[in-house]
């Protein structure tokens, strides 16, 4: 009984895990209503649950064609879940509290700190206000460009709706689109403006509000935090590596980059590289990519985006610490150093733990899906990595998932969004301090 009382204690990680689950439940109910479906009938429960989870966890994997099977009501419900899932439900709740001039309690500040991956609570409310301003400004600016661009091809009212929907979806790295046929942005592979605006939205959503705030403050402070330096460096390096890899592997592939001009080849390579951070939109057919490219994408999706962003995966900072630890070991040194700052032993252990848990989950999910799906192994692993990284790219497997496979992917999307650390702390009881230490042992390694 005492264990149950201890486990039932409300903690920030449990509030976050429960809050996302509640949003998914409400979204599932709303999407199950006949008014949400274009045929006037209720969606199958598993499809409504899958769609609600994918939206709330800003993944973008879709068993339903958003632009075809969902009504305007269903699409707006989807978009609200994307916005709440992207910036966090606690952030939105705090916006309303601030607007109503209500006091934000200490418990609520602790939850906000957890949801934004902050080290401490200093300036947390100021950051929340900035998140609101950044989100409205970035999404609004991009929406205006999309509206002007698409008003040339469709009625103004439809262009406004499409502009707002896709701006919110892409900035929150959700990947849902309304063009129909699961085409994503492939019709615009040669459109420089749409590509560049989408890339900026993806990058800004993927680096997180903490880094955006740091960048905007830089002209005044003339310095960046260690977190921002690591995130920006890792983002730049991984984007360049993936873009070069995609360009080389797909250069002669007539079904992807082969038929494009030189500038379009480069643009498409960069776009596909950037979208791997967690966006889920694509300008070339993912199923037509070569195996080497698809495997490169799996690695990048597994790494994911930055902490405090709209993306999943093991996170960029985790990967950076692992690489730094590898370099330290090879050089025979003791301290893991990034930008002349020594990483604590606990941070290194945490990074290793997260990476190992991530590998375990990816392998386990791939094995389980292989039991329920009679599909190509690469296709199955790609789907698993996409769900874990909340990326939303697919080689076409999503629409073929069985009932059991949908449940597995739903769980992976949920874990990928709330984060491995949050889930671990939400499930475990309050740890007790050990009153003794074991004697040190020696084993042979390597």
Phi, psi of 282 (to 5 degrees): -145, 155
Q: What is the pLDDT of the chain when averaged over all its residues?
A: 86
- Residue 223 is given by DSSP the state -
> Which H or E element spans position 69?
helix 66-69
pLDDT digits 0-9 by tens, 304-361: 888 877 778 899 999 999 999 999 989 988 889 999 889 988 889 989 988 999 999 9
Query: Which pTM was predicted?
Result: 0.89
**Helix/strand/coil for 402:** coil
Question: Which single residue is written with the structure tokens 């063009």?
Answer: 179
pLDDT digits 0-9 by tens, 122-142: 566 676 777 778 888 999 999
Higher-pLDDT residue of 431 and 290 is: 290
How do strand 341-342 and strand 337-338 relate by DSSP bridges? antiparallel
| 8 Å CB contact between 139 and 168 | yes
| 8 Å CB contact between 258 and 251 | yes
Q: Among positive and negative, which fits the CA dihedral 418, 422, 424, 427? A: negative
pLDDT digits 0-9 by tens, 59-70: 889 999 998 999
- Locate 12 and state its tokens: 């920030």
Per-position DSSP letters for 267-334, written without gaps between them: HHHHHHHHHTTTT---SS-GGGS-HHHHHHHHHHHHH---TTSS--SS-HHHHHHHHHHHHHHHHT-S
**Helix/strand/coil for 342:** strand
**Helix/strand/coil for 337:** strand
**Confidence at 232, pLDDT banded by 50, 70, 90:** very high
Mean pLDDT over residues 289-296, rounded?
96
Mean pLDDT over residues 235-264, rounded?
94
CB atoms within 10 A of CB 286: 21
pLDDT digits 0-9 by tens, 163-200: 999 999 999 888 899 998 888 999 999 999 999 999 99
- Locate 426 and state its tokens: 């939400």
Give how far the C-alpha of residue 108 lies from the chain's centroid of Cα atoms, to the nearest Å.
24
Higher-pLDDT residue of 445 and 155 is: 155
pLDDT number for residue 438? 73
pLDDT number for residue 151? 94
pLDDT number for residue 293? 96
């Amino acid at each position: 009984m005492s264990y149950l009382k201890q486990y039932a204690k409300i903690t920030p990680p449990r509030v976050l895990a429960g809050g996302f689950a509640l949003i998914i439940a409400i979204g599932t109910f709303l999407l199950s209503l006949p008014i949400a479906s274009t045929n006037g009938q209720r969606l199958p429960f598993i499809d409504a649950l899958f769609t609600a989870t994918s939206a709330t966890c800003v993944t973008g994997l879709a068993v339903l064609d958003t632009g075809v099977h969902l009504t305007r009501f269903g699409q707006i419900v989807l978009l609200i879940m994307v916005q709440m899932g992207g910036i966090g439900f606690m952030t939105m709740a705090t916006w309303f509290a601030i607007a109503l001039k209500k006091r934000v309690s200490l418990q609520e500040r602790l939850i906000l700190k957890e949801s934004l991956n902050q080290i401490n609570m200093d300036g947390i409310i100021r950051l929340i206000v900035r998140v609101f301003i950044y989100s409205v400004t970035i999404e609004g600016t991009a929406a205006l460009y999309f509206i002007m661009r698409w008003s040339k091809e469709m009625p103004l009212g439809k262009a406004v709706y499409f502009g707002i929907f896709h701006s919110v979806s892409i900035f929150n790295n959700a990947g849902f689109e309304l063009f129909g046929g699961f085409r994503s942005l492939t019709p615009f592979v040669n459109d420089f403006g749409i590509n560049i605006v989408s890339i900026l939205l993806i990058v800004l959503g993927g680096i997180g509000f903490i880094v955006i705030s740091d960048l905007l403050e830089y002209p005044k402070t003339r310095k960046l935090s260690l977190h921002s330096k690591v995130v920006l460096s890792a983002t730049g390096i991984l984007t360049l590596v993936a873009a070069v890899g995609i360009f080389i592997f797909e250069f002669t592939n007539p079904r992807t980059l082969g038929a494009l001009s030189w500038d379009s080849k480069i643009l498409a390579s960069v776009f596909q590289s950037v979208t791997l951070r967690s966006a889920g939109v694509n300008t070339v057919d993912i199923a037509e990519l070569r195996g080497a490219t698809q495997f490169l994408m799996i690695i990048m999706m597994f790494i994911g985006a930055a902490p405090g962003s709209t993306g999943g995966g093991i996170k960029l900072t985790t990967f950076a610490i692992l690489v730094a630890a590898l370099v330290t070991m090879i050089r025979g040194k003791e301290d893991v150093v990034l930008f002349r700052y020594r990483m604590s032993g606990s941070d290194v252990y945490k990074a290793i733990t997260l990476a190992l848990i991530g590998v375990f989950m990816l392998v386990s999910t791939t094995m389980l899906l292989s039991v329920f799906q009679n599909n190509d192994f690469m296709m199955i692993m790609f789907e698993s990595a996409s769900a874990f990284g909340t990326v939303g790219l697919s080689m076409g497997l999503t629409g073929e998932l069985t009932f059991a496979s949908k449940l597995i992917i739903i769980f992976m999307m949920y874990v990928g969004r709330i984060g491995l650390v949050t889930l671990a702390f939400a499930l475990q009881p309050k740890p007790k301090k050990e009153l003794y230490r074991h004697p040190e042992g020696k084993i042979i390694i390597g």
